[in-house]
Structure 1
Amino acid sequence: MSTTVISVEDASQVAEARRKVVALADRIGFDETARGHAAIVATELASNLVKHGSGGSILASLATHGDEEEIELLAVDAGRGLADVEACLRDGFSTAGSAGQGLGAIRRQSRAMDIASWPDKGAVVLSRLSRQPPGPPPAISREPVWAAVSTPKPGEDVCGDAYAVAEGPGGVTRLLVADGLGHGPAAAEASTAAVRVFMAQAARETDPTALVERLHAGLRSTRGAAVAVAEIDRAGGRVRYCGVGNIAGAIVNGASARRLLSHNGTAGVVARRIQTVDYPYAPGDCVIMHSDGVSASWSFDRYPGLASGHPALVAGVLWRDFARERDDATVLVWRDPT
């Protein structure tokens, strides 16, 4: 599912950001009250980008919570950051001479909210919007969670990358990232085909190698794609990873990252070596996969505490700081918060 990038560089773009978010809410059946909550959050996120972040972007996408479809908004900027996040969440607190209602208002309207920020390294604010009325001050679910950002190359209408998450046999979780060769509709056709094959087979196959082999066979009628599958076996204490092409993977614990091995090739075209590699997994580890539209030079040393934040914040920070403007860019993050 592609992410909509809403640019907010000055106050004149706040209304357009609100309109786009409300249109997304209307599209998935939010009622008038829920659309009103979405409008408030979009307005405050966009206004904060202008006031405090010297401009930035809102990344809008659809997500699920149980059986319900939600809107996920990520406001990302590279401004001066927030020195005291908890103080900023209190109504009446302001560093810009305003009424100080921004983050507090976002918190009240959201089903879930989280923030990552560091001095002089900008901020990423997450808001999850539901059809249901907001309850008490929200908290992020403590269940295993995942999130993704997937954006097309600037100037393209569709994203040539795709991703999927599925529960496999034995209680394992499987992740897929696919990067269709090139850009545009033909690349999107290849990556979408990869998702179809993955979702049809992920609950059946017991080995990532066999799953990637099926992806390779299933993409022969397309231009092909780089693909990788990560199988997270929490009970067995391992991550099994199988990749063909330039999909990067990593297991992050704190500031340390163990990079995962993919082999050369293009699924659907040529894949001389399809091999699964096992890596140790510990509770609380964060599994990250991304296409080559995101530079692999990132390090969590720059972002203390980020690995323990909501996966959407991790995806947003990596997209903000390491996405390449000349390519589709996808980041998929899974974290077990045990």
Structure 2
Amino acid sequence: MSEPTREQTERHEITQDGDDILVKQAAESMAAAIGFEESAAAEIGIVAVELASNVLKHADSGEVALSHLTDGDREGVRIESFDVGPGIANVDAAFEDGASTAGSLGGGLGAVNRLMHRLTVTAPGEPDFGTKVVADRWKRKPASATRPCPLSFGAASRPAANETVNGDSFVIKRWDEQALVGVIDGLGHGADAHEASMAATEYVETHYDSRMEAIFDGTERACRGTRGVVMALARFDWDAETVTFATVGNINYKLTDDTDLTVVPRRGVVGSNGPDPKVTHSEWRPGDRLVLFSDGVDSHWELPPARSMADESATVTARRLLDQHSKPHDDATVLVVSEQVADHSD
């Protein structure tokens, strides 16, 4: 991935109370000038004040740099903070919700992670050299779909018996000629598993159009301080007729026999120093089908022939498979991607 171009950079010294508010105002102004919507510009301001506040809290002084980025036809903002001093002693803990600096508007580095598309943190490595944080946010393009979606997406999920909350979750996001779907399973079940899956789901749903590797990186940070999750994601592009797949952990899948997609599983837990996913790309043809399911669903069954499901929507298929194959004492989720069901109303 190539490094974006800096079209403009402003540098602000952070030495005393009030400097963080000035940086916030400058970040919001730069974002507005680039064309971010008002709500997005306000979120960029939250990140700026959070990083500036970290400088004041963890070091004697430092600097925040604001840059206007371009990368091909994309435009964005980069916020960098550098502090002179000991830096953040425990970077992992700073990502946990509730680790906000005093008087700031965010929630520690966890808020920065959720609000920005890319985040890197360099922990202290030398005496008097503190923490460096680099956070990028890209402006989303207006919706421009020109081809109707030929795919049907559906999911069904339920908690384990005697549980009031579900430790599983799923994602279905559509935009332009693309869609991102996924199944997320918090480790175990109950409230702790639910907390982990919700942290992951929130991150994925707000970063759906990022690169697969970046989504997994950000979800890893978002789930620190939780039990962690296992997760599988698939992105469909029906204009290019392709699918991109990535997974970490034991989310299961079934595909039609002649589908070209090759899934490379990776052992691990997202949120507990999980491995990078193996991302694979494949052609996606009319008639191909994908079923993703958590380990609360038995895997010893065969995907029925497409002709037997020609009049069944993906949602109906997901509910039926959940009813037929789920295990009662674990959270269970099924997600189905298939062709759109033909309308025979005429």
TM category, shorter? 0.5 to 0.7
Shift of 1:301: 4.0
Aligned residue for 2:320, secondary structure, equals: helix
2:177 to 168, 171, 179: 171
1:226 to 230, 250, 254: 230
1:249 to 246, 253, 264: 253
Matched, 1:147 2:151: no
- Alignment partners' CA distance in 1, 2:290 and 2:257: 9
Question: Which stretches of structure 1, 4 residues or more, deviate above 2 A after TM superposition?
Answer: 141-145, 249-254, 256-262, 284-287, 300-304, 334-338
Deviation by residue 1:293-319 (Cα, 9 ceiling, x = unmatched)? 112222124896126521122112211
**Corresponding residue number in structure 1 for 2:335:** 332
Q: Are the aligned partners of 2:294 and 2:332 in contact in 1 as well (CA < 8 Å)?
A: yes
Q: Are the aligned partners of 1:167 and 1:202 in contact in 2 as well (CA < 8 Å)?
A: no
**Corresponding residue number in structure 2 for 1:190:** 196
AA aligned to 2:237 is: D
Shift of 1:173: 0.4
**Corresponding residue number in structure 2 for 1:282:** 285
Deviation by residue 1:266-291 (Cα, 9 ceiling, x = unmatched)? 00013223221123210232222111
Q: Are the aligned partners of 1:244 and 1:263 in contact in 2 as well (CA < 8 Å)?
A: yes
Query: What residue ranges of structure 1 are gaps of 5+ in the alignment?
Result: 1-140
Q: Are the aligned partners of 2:287 and 2:306 in contact in 1 as well (CA < 8 Å)?
A: no
Shift of 1:217: 1.7
How many residues are treated as equivalent by the alignment? 194
- Alignment partners' CA distance in 2, 1:283 and 1:191: 32
Query: What residue ranges of structure 2 are gaps of 5+ in the alignment?
Result: 1-147
Alignment of 1:59-208 (within 5 A): 144-168=151-175, 171-203=177-209, 205=210, 207-208=211-212
Shift of 1:324: 1.3
- Alignment partners' CA distance in 2, 1:209 and 1:297: 30
- Alignment partners' CA distance in 1, 2:170 and 2:232: 10
Matched, 1:217 2:221: yes
**Corresponding residue number in structure 2 for 1:264:** 267
Cα distance 1:258–1:200, how it changes in 2: closer, same or farther (>3 A)?
closer
- Alignment partners' CA distance in 2, 1:282 and 1:144: 11
- Alignment partners' CA distance in 2, 1:199 and 1:228: 14
Aligned residue for 2:156, secondary structure, equals: strand
Q: Are the aligned partners of 1:246 and 1:292 in contact in 2 as well (CA < 8 Å)?
A: yes
Cα distance 1:153–1:307, how it changes in 2: closer, same or farther (>3 A)?
farther
Cα distance 1:299–1:171, how it changes in 2: closer, same or farther (>3 A)?
same
2:322 to 310, 319, 328: 319
Identity across the alignment (%): 27
AA aligned to 2:242 is: R
Aligned residue for 2:243, secondary structure, equals: strand
Shift of 1:251: 3.2
Cα distance 1:142–1:156, how it changes in 2: closer, same or farther (>3 A)?
same
Deviation by residue 1:105-162 (Cα, 9 ceiling, x = unmatched)? xxxxxxxxxxxxxxxxxxxxxxxxxxxxxxxxxxxx9963322110101111111001
Deviation by residue 1:225-260 (Cα, 9 ceiling, x = unmatched)? 111111111122221111111112333379x89673
Aligned residue for 2:217, secondary structure, equals: helix
AA aligned to 1:235 is: D
- Alignment partners' CA distance in 2, 1:317 and 1:257: 26
Cα distance 1:247–1:306, how it changes in 2: closer, same or farther (>3 A)?
same
| RMSD, aligned α-carbons | 2.6
- Alignment partners' CA distance in 2, 1:144 and 1:272: 31
Deviation by residue 1:162-215 (Cα, 9 ceiling, x = unmatched)? 1111125x6210012110011001100110111110111113x1x212211211
Matched, 1:299 2:302: yes
- Alignment partners' CA distance in 2, 1:265 and 1:308: 38
1:238 to 242, 251, 256: 242
Aligned residue for 1:300, secondary structure, equals: coil
- Alignment partners' CA distance in 1, 2:285 and 2:271: 34
TM-score (norm 1): 0.52
**Corresponding residue number in structure 1 for 2:129:** none
Aligned residue for 1:157, secondary structure, equals: coil
Q: Are the aligned partners of 2:264 and 2:278 in contact in 1 as well (CA < 8 Å)?
A: no
